[in-house]
Amino acid sequence: MESITFTVAGVPIPQGSTRAFVVKGRAVTTSSNKNLAQWRQRIATEAQRAATEAGWCSEGKYAYTVLADFYFPRTKSMGKKDIRHTVRPDADKLARACGDSITGILIADDSMIDRWSVTKRYLPPDPLQGPRVDVTVIRMSPVIEVAP
């Protein structure tokens, strides 16, 4: 079992919804969040850096567990004890953006992720680090194919 960990600084952006339509006979897809592409690129860049440093290559014969801890800025009106982030964005949409971003870099395809652990938290009142996501990808034992 091998693992790789990296951090991406910035306010986490959810995957959101995509819309598809046809323009001059070609299919075009758009995202409902204009900042998504930049956020996904930042995740991919940090994942690539971590993979290069660790000598990690994505392989298709493994199952993966992904742990993602998302940290959001506090609002001025919230109490000092509030830690859990129970408002939008949804944890599953944050995970989708992360999974899509590491595909082809740390894992061959995000369908090979068989377990997600996602947490959403507010930063402590006096944080040492700002908003971010801490990601750990764990390569599990090889996938065993069963003959039909």
For 3-37, what is each residue's pLDDT tens digit?
999 999 999 999 976 677 788 888 777 666 788 99
pLDDT of residue 85: 84
Establish if 148 belongs to a structural domain.
Answer: no
Q: Is residue 11 part of a domain?
A: yes
SS3 104: coil
Examine residue 15 and state whether it is found in any structural domain, yes or no.
yes
Distance separating alpha carbons of residues 145 and 75, to the nearest angstrom: 49
pLDDT band for 145, please (50, 70, 90 cuts). Answer: low
- Position 94 pLDDT exceeds 90: yes
Judge whether 47 lies within some domain.
yes
pLDDT given at position 127: 81
The boundaries of the domain holding residue 111 are 2-142
Rounded-to-integer distance, Cα 124 and Cα 137, Å: 25
Under the banding of pLDDT at 50, 70 and 90, the label for residue 92 is very high
What CATH number did the domain enclosing 136 receive?
Answer: 3.30.1330.70
Residue whose pair of structure tokens reads 């600084």 in the numeric block: 9
Is 45 inside a domain boundary? Answer: yes
Query: Domain tally for the chain?
Result: 1
Instruction: Please tell me the pTM assigned to this model.
Output: 0.85
Assess if residue 147 is contained within a domain.
no
